Structure 1
Amino acid sequence: MGVEERRQQLIGVALELFSHRSPDHVSIDEIAAAAGISRPLVYHYFPGKQSLYEAALRRAADELAERFVEPREGPLGARLLRVMTRFFDFVDEHGPGFFALMRGGPAVGSSTANAMIDEVRQAAYEQILSHLSIQSPPPRLELVVRSWVSLAESTALLWLDGRRIPRGELELQLVHDFAALAAVSAAYDDEMARILLPVLADEPPGGPFGDLVTRLTGLAATLPAARTGAAAPASPLPAARTA
């Protein structure tokens, strides 16, 4: 193999191993064996495990950022749901690797690793703004979008610990979370309301945002019984998507 071809092979091998186990628990010897080369040859292409980890991290970061790219066609709720599905595909496929990516793995404190993680977050932030056709976001919108990106990251990390909630429910819930964050902000700010109302007007009743309205309406219907202590009626909330 040529130098660059061998480097890319080693990055691919390392990323595959990191996807199944924490980088801390993967040795250079294992990477060399999986690549079919000697340990000294690994060091010929990478000075050490840290540099190989950061190269694998770079590839993972680029791939993760691409998961947020979505054509600007159709209702926003459906677009966000497709993004969340691809995001969780990545998380599902690269569990330990995703955890290492977002938490630093053996690169904790590395300025290179931290910069790559910030790039992923910034890419996700810019993609959401593009779907809203906003170039210079007002402060409340920036707060909403960055908070939501952070929430998606934290939710995925918690989900990896046992996968105790069906993945499909979390994907849909995160889309609902975005709508809820934006709606609360719009209730406080006219500029946010002017951004959000046209988005909601384009949403079909059966879409993710319409589903949120149905669920909240159903929840509100149970409040009178809850306040009086009477037996609550059967929940009118629709079942979540669990695919």
Structure 2
Amino acid sequence: MGSTSGAAERAKPAAGGARPARRRLTVDRRREELMAAALELFSRHDAEYVSIDDVASAAGASRALVYHYFGGKQELYVAALRSAAAQLEARLRPQGGGRPLDELAGGLTRYFDFVEEHAAGFAALLRGGPANSSGEIGEVVDAVRHRLLKLIMERMRVEEPGPVLRVTLRSWIASVETAGLDWLERRDIERSALERMLVGQMVALLGAAAEHDPQVGELLDNLVKGEASRSADQGSTGQERTGTDG
């Protein structure tokens, strides 16, 4: 994960001047603050360029305290990523009761709520991906992706996807991750429009996959019928209201 040599020099931008005054905190609260500081730094710099001194300075703690809680930078990095992953997964727990595409859209809204409110954690989590695909770091990122895949399958009422559907859903998850990072960087598209676009992408991907697997075709038919049924219900309700008003 890199050495802490030259930390004082690298810590200058992170410190932003004088080190914040230390406060008495509970063990859990101090750990949370150290992980939050680490996530912020890891979201902006490759892990190898972030030192324990940088984290300590950003959190207003001592280098010795960081080592006391985490043992070293690798342990801190993994703990910080696990914290971000747990927060994201908590946001994505299904609400239940809606049509599959409605629930997918709701899940995307909660996903982007996390992206917007915890930008550092989201960026750091995904920055820990391909370049660190082995070991504990890779396991943290992969666990989040597997959880997302499982949640999507549950919402679509699919117990065991075939290879075509599995590849399609994993490709869509990668698109959502990329869209989240791009939106954080640029913010040149309305969030609601981006969420609608991603739902549309899911439908389009399933349509392409349906040409190669009847299972996907049946799934897509059910999704489309659900949407058509909702549109019909809404139209009927609107007509009833119009008639009543008249």
Alignment CA distance shift 1:64-1:206 (3 Å): farther
AA at the equivalent of 2:117: E
Are the structure 2 counterparts of residues 23 and 185 from structure 1 closer, same or farther at C-alpha, using a change threshold of 3 Å? Answer: closer
C-alpha distance in 2 between matches for 1:5 and 1:160: 27
Q: 2:82·2:140 contact (CA, 8 Å) conserved in 1? A: yes
- Residues 96, 170 of structure 1: alpha-carbon distance in 2 compared, 3 angstrom cutoff: same
- Cα separation, 1, equivalents of 2:232 and 2:186: 31
Name the CA shift for 1:74/1:22 in 2 (closer, same or farther; >3 Å): same
- The amino acid of 1:153's aligned partner reads E
Flag the 1:181–1:199 CA change in 2: closer, same or farther, 3 A: same
Q: Does 1:52 find its partner at 2:52?
A: no
Please say if residues 19 and 94 of structure 1, whose CA atoms lie closer than 8 Å, have aligned partners that are also in contact: no
Report the CA distance between 1:143 and its aligned residue: 1.8
1:140 aligns with 2:164: yes
* 1:68 aligns to 2:92 (yes or no): yes
Q: Does 2:202 correspond to 1:178?
A: yes
CA contact (8 A) 2:104 2:155 kept: no
Report Cα offsets for 1:19-41 as digits up to 9, x if no partner.
87446576534543554532212
Are the structure 2 counterparts of residues 90 and 206 from structure 1 closer, same or farther at C-alpha, using a change threshold of 3 Å? farther
Q: Please state if 1:87 is matched with 2:101.
A: no
Q: State the distance in 2 between where 1:19 and 1:46 align.
A: 16
* Secondary structure of the corresponding residue to residue 74 of structure 1: coil
Q: 1:5 to 1:103 in 2, by over 3 A?
A: closer
The question of 1:10 aligning with 2:34 is answered yes
Structure 2 CA distance, aligned partners of 1:74 and 1:82? 9
Contact kept, 8 Å, 2:168 with 2:205, in 1: the verdict is: yes
| CA shift in 2, pair 1:93/1:189, >3 Å | same
Question: Aligned-pair distance for 1:149?
Answer: 0.8
Q: 115-124 vs 166-175, which deviates more?
A: 166-175
1:205 equivalent to 2:231? Answer yes
Contact 1:23 1:97 in 2 (8 A): no
> Unmatched 5+ residue regions in structure 1?
208-243
1:18 and 1:97 in contact (8 A); partners too:
no
1:21–1:97 contact (8 Å) kept in structure 2: no
Contact 2:42 2:50 in 1 (8 A): no
TM (norm. structure 2) is 0.71
Deviation at 1:123, TM superposition (A): 0.3
Between 85-94 and 186-195, report the one with greater CA deviation.
186-195
Corresponding residue of 2:12: none
Q: Contact 2:176/2:198 (CA < 8 Å) preserved in 1?
A: yes
Give the Å deviation of 1:2: 6.3
* 1:137 partner SS: coil
Alpha carbons of structure 1 residues 63 and 4: separation in structure 2 relative to 1, 3 Å: closer
Residue in 2 that maps onto 1:99: 123
Aligned-partner Cα distance in 2 for 1:40–1:22: 22
1:108-143 deviation line (CA, Å, top 9, x unaligned): 355111111000100000001001111111222112
Determine the C-alpha separation between the residues in 2 that align with 1:22 and 1:137. Answer: 37
Q: Does 1:162 align with 2:201?
A: no
Q: Could you tell me which runs of 5 or more consecutive residues in structure 2 were left unpaired when the two chains were aligned.
A: 1-24, 234-246
| Amino acid paired to 2:184 | L
Partner of 2:175 in structure 1?
Answer: 151
- The number of equivalent residue pairs is 205
Q: Is the 8 A contact 2:43 2:127 kept in 1?
A: no
Equivalence for 2:102:
78
